[in-house]
Amino acid sequence: MENLNEKEIIQNNRKKHNLKKIDTKEIRNSVLINNTYYAFKNSFLLGFNPIYNLVYLGIVVAIYFTEYNLLFGALIIGYLIYLYLFVTSIGKRSRKAYNEYLEDKMLNIYNKELAILNFVPENVDYQSIRLIEVSGVNYENAKYNLIKVAFSLKADGIISLSSSSSSTSHVVGVKDSKVETVHKSVVYMQGMAIKLN
């Protein structure tokens, strides 16, 4: 009977702190199923406006009917090189954009499920995975990096979160006795990634 009450206390504390087991593999699979590369590549191609190609071809045709035959040949060769580079590089660019899109979708879903606490909860059964230390140019960027690392560790939560920031200023002299000040700030975050038992 005492063991049952202990489990109930642990469950109640999990709910109280919004801690729950997160299946990162299921998040990854659902995002991959709902977002195929073929559909993304077609939408990626829609971003390129064919009007630019038509304008370029119009210029080439206009030059063809003038006295500049050498320029016409150079423009045709240049356009063919452009077309070749465009077709061969579009697969690489769209694949990179697709991977970034998928990662962003997965992290958005994971962020909604992940509990980030700035304290250590009591009466919660968990194992510590690793202390995560990240930085970013602002708070949102540092938090995104924290979530990205937690996702790769398959963490169910982050506890004992702390953050700090530092700022530096550089005074730079330029022409005509003008002085510029360049400010640079960095936000540091650290927290313990945990896995619930």
The per-residue pLDDT string of the chain (197 residues; one tens digit each, 9 = 90 and over) reads: 456 577 776 677 666 777 788 888 898 888 888 777 666 666 666 556 566 667 777 777 777 677 666 777 777 777 778 777 776 666 666 777 778 888 999 999 999 989 888 888 888 888 999 999 999 999 999 999 999 999 999 999 999 999 999 988 887 776 777 777 788 889 999 999 999 88
50 falls within a domain: yes
- Return the number of other C-beta atoms located less than 10 Å from residue 27's C-beta: 18
Q: What is the CATH number of the domain that holds 126?
A: 3.30.110.70
Same domain? For 137 and 147 the reply is yes
pLDDT of residue 71: 72
Residues 87 and 128 in one domain: no
The whole-angstrom separation of Cα 150 and Cα 110 is: 9
Specify the pLDDT at position 109. 92
Range of the domain at 52: 23-113
What type of residue sits at position 106? M
Same domain, 173 and 92: no
Length of the chain: 197
Distance from C-alpha of 159 to C-alpha of 21, rounded to nearest angstrom: 14
Query: What is the CA 82 to chain-centroid distance, rounded?
Result: 30
Six-digit token string for 120: 């250590």
Closest CA to 189 of 111, 123, 137: 137
- Cβ atoms 112, 161 nearer than 8 A: no
Phi, psi of 193 (to 5 degrees): -80, 135
Alpha-carbon gap, residue 114 to 147, rounded angstroms: 8
User: Could you say which of 113, 137, 153 is where a domain stops?
Assistant: 113
Record the pTM: 0.67
Q: Are residues 141 and 94 in the same domain?
A: no
In this prediction, residue 38 carries a pLDDT of 66
